[in-house]
Amino acid sequence: MEGKREEIRKGPWKAEEDEVVINHVKKYGPRDWSSIRSKGLLQRTGKSCRLRWVNKLRPNLKSGCKFTSEEERVVIELQAQFGNKWAKIATYLHGRTDNDVKNFWSSRQKRLARILQNSSATSSNTESHKIINREVSGFTNVVPSSEGLKKSPSSLSNIDNYDEMVKMVPLPDLVDTNLLHFETNQSHLGDFNQPQQDMTAFSSAGSQQLLASFEDPYWFDVFGAIDGDVAVEQPFLKPTTSCGDGSVNPDAFFDDFPTDMFDQI
């Protein structure tokens, strides 16, 4: 099935290679990745091309944007429910890929490990240490926010301030976990009850047929809506027009609550 047995290229992608992949998707859709190589268009494997498309070239990706507190909260909750099903979790976050979620989670885990390591090496009686212990014992899959610890990850001094620490807590009580039983209890979720890839909105026979052809949820982002009747469901998190500076305050979610309400967590 393979075409030429040329050497497979690896490593960083060039703009020309990206262009080839984009053109391929325009012509054939996000599939038949292996044909890119078999046709001699690129010396990349089909897997590599697909990955490049999914993680970098696909439209409406929030590449380069830090996770907001809201996204962070969703990831924490969904990870607790689904485990390390990054692709599944990513479907609830507009513009995020499984790789994004995976990397985000992984770096938070490392950070927590570091904090715990440092906290055990320092005084066991500090307020921050108590908070961390409570956090870890009661919510083992949860790690602190990147925002709270970013500045000095190797030291606990920056979390001595309780308010700061509060921002790092996942606040399980703030989220009704019943809402996260998507399979059995989706009606409670209102606008947020469907992942991005949920295609139940395409109810007409014509739309179903189209869907069979265009399985990729981002097809419409690239080539526009096919049918005026087609109404794509809102993702779990509504897309933001921009990211990072200005529009989204990472801590805004927590600002809506009195700080003392977290004392019981």
Question: By the criterion CB under 7 A, which residues form the site for DNA?
Answer: 1-2, 9-13, 30-34, 38, 44, 46-48, 50-52, 55-56, 63-64, 66, 84-88, 98-100, 102-104, 106-108, 110-111, 114, 146, 149-155, 215
Closest distance between DNA and the C-beta of residue 229, in Å? 25
Element (H, E) at 104: helix 98-121
d(CA 9, CA 190): 46
Residue closer to DNA by CB (options 90, 131) is 90
Closest distance between DNA and the C-beta of residue 27, in Å? 13
CA geometry: angle 9, 26, 94, nearest 5 deg: 90
Q: Which of 67, 112, 111 is nearest to 92 (CA)?
A: 67
Closest distance between DNA and the C-beta of residue 109, in Å? 10
CA geometry: angle 136, 141, 145, nearest 5 deg: 80
- Residue 75: CA count within 13 A, CB half-sphere: 29
Closest distance between DNA and the C-beta of residue 93, in Å? 13
Structure tokens at 20: 């080839």
How far from 170 is each of 86, 87, 233, CA to CA, in Å?
18, 21, 27
How many other β-carbons are positioned within 10 Å of the β-carbon of residue 243?
A: 18
